Structures are given as C-alpha cells and as structure tokens.
Amino acid sequence: MVPAPTTVVASPAPSAPTSAPTGPIGADGKPLKPCCACPETKKARDQCVFNLGEENCLDMIKAHQQCLRDLGFKI
C-alpha cells in the first residue's frame, strides 16, 4: 500500500507592525514630505537655478537643505 501524498500549506508571513511615521510633522498634524517643506527656500532655490544655473546658486541650495534639516529631515 502506498501512502497518500501529504499537502503542505504555507501560512502567510507575519506582517510587520505598522508604526507611526518618524519624520517631521506639519502644523496640520500630518507627516511632512520633503517636496512640500520649506516652500520659501525651495522657490528661491528653483528660480535661481533656473535663471543662473546650479553652480551659481550654492548658497540658495545650502539654505534650502538647512531648512529641511531644521525640520528634521535627514538629507
């Protein structure tokens, strides 16, 4: 007599626990995104780069990066 084949059923992998975002939180209580943070320095930086080229706007670029760091972004 031949034994019946056994069926192996894989259980789903345990899901990772969801945790609250660890990044900066905006005034509305929602997580900030780098693209939406520091709009003043971002606009000045973008206009400078567009008009003068990146190599001529290093101070504006650094100011925007510092603004993002001050909000808690790790860049």
Residue stretches of the annotated binding site: 35-36
Binding site listing for Cu cation: 35-36
Residues 6+ apart with CB under 8 A from 66: none
Residue with tokens 């008009």: 51
CA diameter of the chain:
85
Asked whether the beta carbons of 31 and 57 are under 8 A apart, the reply is: no
